[in-house]
């Protein structure tokens, strides 16, 4: 019997790549996104149904989950991929920007997870895969809000796994490093206007440093394959670090004290601390 996966944030990038990978491997795929018109290419794939789902809207989430179960009979795997990022000084962030960041990256994951749990519990089977980030395990300047949400997802995933394991449901977390998607463009929104005001020097220095780091990132296709592998490897592994840059970064931090790490990051980004 064909298995079914529901994936959020499938309009582009990692979500679209994951949808293609599952479909190519014979799965039923509920490829969800806020605007289904963005999923025309996915509709052409066998076993794929493109559905409207806004992770910040409980009614939308519940409707998409119900439709998936109606169409395919069950949800074997949930992939919480939808993500939104902010960059810039925390002080400059409006309450609306902060709320949107947490509504999507944290409460959105809560909404979809809660929606699939009754059916997974009834079958005593299921895998929930949360896409966090290496930014949920370590930090960089100007990403305080984004880091806060991804650290939350790492903690949520690990703790949730304890309570769901006795019910036959696994929780896994993927932490990718840099990914060659449009995340840093379309999905990364500044907290500030103009040049950053009193933080202008920091904004300029950090932005220039990041431009120099581009290249060598994982492709969205490789992330799609990593998600599929995590969903199907049959192991009790709960944490997957994906991308050479992420592995190297975390290995390096493991060998440092917190004070040493702060000094390294300040030096790397040309900041004074």
Active site residues: 146
Which tokens in the block code for residue 43? 């509709």
Q: How far apart are alpha carbons 174 and 228 in whole angstroms?
A: 11
Radius of gyration (C-alpha) of the chain in whole angstroms: 19
With the CA atoms of 167, 169, 170 and 176 taken in that order, what torsion angle do they form, in degrees rounded to the nearest 10? Answer: -140
Which tokens in the block code for residue 117? 């749990």
**For the chain, percent helix, then strand, then coil, each to nearest 5?**
55, 15, 30
Dump the DSSP string for 214-254: -SSPBPHHHHHHHHHHHHHS-S---EEEESHHHHHHHHHHH
């Amino acid at each position: 019997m064909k298995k079914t996966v529901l994936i959020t944030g499938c309009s582009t990038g990692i979500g679209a790549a994951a949808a293609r990978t599952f479909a190519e491997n014979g799965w039923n795929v509920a490829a969800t996104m806020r605007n289904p018109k963005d999923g025309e290419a996915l509709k052409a794939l066998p076993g794929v149904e493109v559905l409207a789902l806004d992770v910040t809207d409980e009614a939308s989430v519940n409707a998409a989950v119900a439709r998936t179960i109606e169409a395919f009979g069950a949800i074997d795997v949930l992939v919480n991929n939808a993500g939104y990022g902010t960059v810039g000084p925390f002080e400059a962030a409006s309450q609306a920007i902060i709320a949107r960041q947490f509504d999507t990256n944290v409460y959105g994951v809560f909404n979809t997870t809660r929606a699939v749990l009754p059916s997974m519990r009834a079958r005593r089977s299921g895998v929930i895969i949360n896409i966090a980030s290496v930014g949920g395990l370590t930090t960089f300047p100007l990403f305080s809000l984004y880091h806060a949400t991804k650290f939350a997802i790492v903690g949520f995933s690990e703790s949730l796994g304890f309570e769901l394991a006795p019910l036959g449901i696994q929780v896994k977390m993927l932490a990718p490093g840099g990914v060659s998607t449009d995340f840093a463009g379309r999905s990364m929104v500044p907290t500030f206007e103009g040049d950053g005001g009193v933080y202008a020097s920091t904004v300029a220095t950090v932005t220039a440093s990041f431009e120099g780091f581009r290249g060598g990132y994982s492709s969205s296709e490789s992330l799609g394959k990593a998600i599929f592998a995590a969903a199907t490897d049959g192991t009790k592994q709960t944490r997957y670090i994906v991308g050479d840059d992420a592995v190297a970064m975390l290995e390096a931090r493991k060998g440092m004290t917190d004070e040493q790490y702060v000094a390294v990051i300040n030096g790397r980004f040309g900041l004074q601390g």
